[in-house]
Amino acid sequence: MSQVASYRILAKYYDSFAGKKRYKEWEVFLNSLVKKYKIEKKIAVDLACGTGINSKTLRNIGFEKVLGVDNSREMLAEAKKKYKDISFARKDFLSFSGKEFANVDLVTCFYDSLNYLLKESELKKTFKNVYNSLKIGGVFVFDLNTPGHAKGISNNKPSIFTNEDLFVIMDNKVKGRFWFLNLSILVRKKGNTFSLFKEIHTEKMYEEGVVVNLLKSVGFKILEIKKENKKYQDGKTYNNRIYYIVKK
């Protein structure tokens, strides 16, 4: 068995693994925000773009230029295969800057990508980088998993995702504010022979108050905060995700 970096193996199967419904909902959500806040549709950056599904949504909505940014070589390779009308760049949350990221109208960052930052100081640095890339009046929209998600998931039994070429066993561990998603991934090599890989995805759950203070400390104004609830395996419902819509 080989332990590999997160998304190294999963990238190739990410789209079927992540499902379609959520992305459709985000398309409606983004469209409504663009209209509501009269966001100009010149340049959009999709931060932690993964395989580029939301980047494509931004093109569909009508942004003239969309730049997808991620630090995973494998996720970007999948994005580049699918979408030729979008520019993709390999950058980390902590280091993206430069002239290609100036004067941006909208920055998006979806699917708990910012939870991968395990320190408040890193979250703040990322907020600062986004702030610097936006034009005055530009909008940043992102989501984060919450401490409620950690509570809900802590009682979950391991679950399985499978398709023809793949078995993924998902096992959750929660320690304080940290969620460890242990993925055992069996990939079909030939016939009935499989290779086993392990990916550990670690996320930190941030309190809403902490996030709001960090956003304000770098200069953002809060436009909206939207909460999503989810029913977990223990039958209880928790606030699992928060969307932050903020403006420079």
Ligand X SMILES: C[S@@+](CC[C@H](N)C(=O)[O-])C[C@H]1O[C@@H](n2cnc3c(N)ncnc32)[C@H](O)[C@@H]1O
The tokens for 144 are: 């984060």
Q: How many residues bind ligand X (CB under 6 A)?
A: 18
Of 57, 72, 133, 240, the one binding ligand X (CB under 6 A) is 72
Nearer to ligand X among residue 7 and residue 140 (C-beta): 7
Reading the block at residue 117, the tokens are: 């930052």
Closest CB to ligand X among residues 18, 186:
18
- By the rule CB under 6 A, 140 interacts with ligand X: no
Mark 81-120 with x for binding to ligand X (rule: CB under 6 A) and - for no binding.
Answer: -----------xx----------------xxxx--x----
Let me know: does 204 contact 212? Beta carbons within 8 Å.
Answer: no
User: Read out DSSP for 48-111?
Assistant: T-TTSHHHHHHHHHT-SEEEEEES-HHHHHHHHHH-TTSEEEE--TTT--SGGGSSEEEEEE-S
**Which residue number has the CB closest to ligand X?**
50
Q: Report how far apart, in Å, the C-alpha atoms of 63 and of each of 19, 59, 67, 85 are.
A: 24, 5, 10, 11
Nearest residue (CB) to ligand X, 64 versus 92: 92
Residues that bind ligand X in the complex, under the rule CB under 6 A: 7, 18, 48-50, 53-54, 70-72, 75, 92-93, 110-113, 116
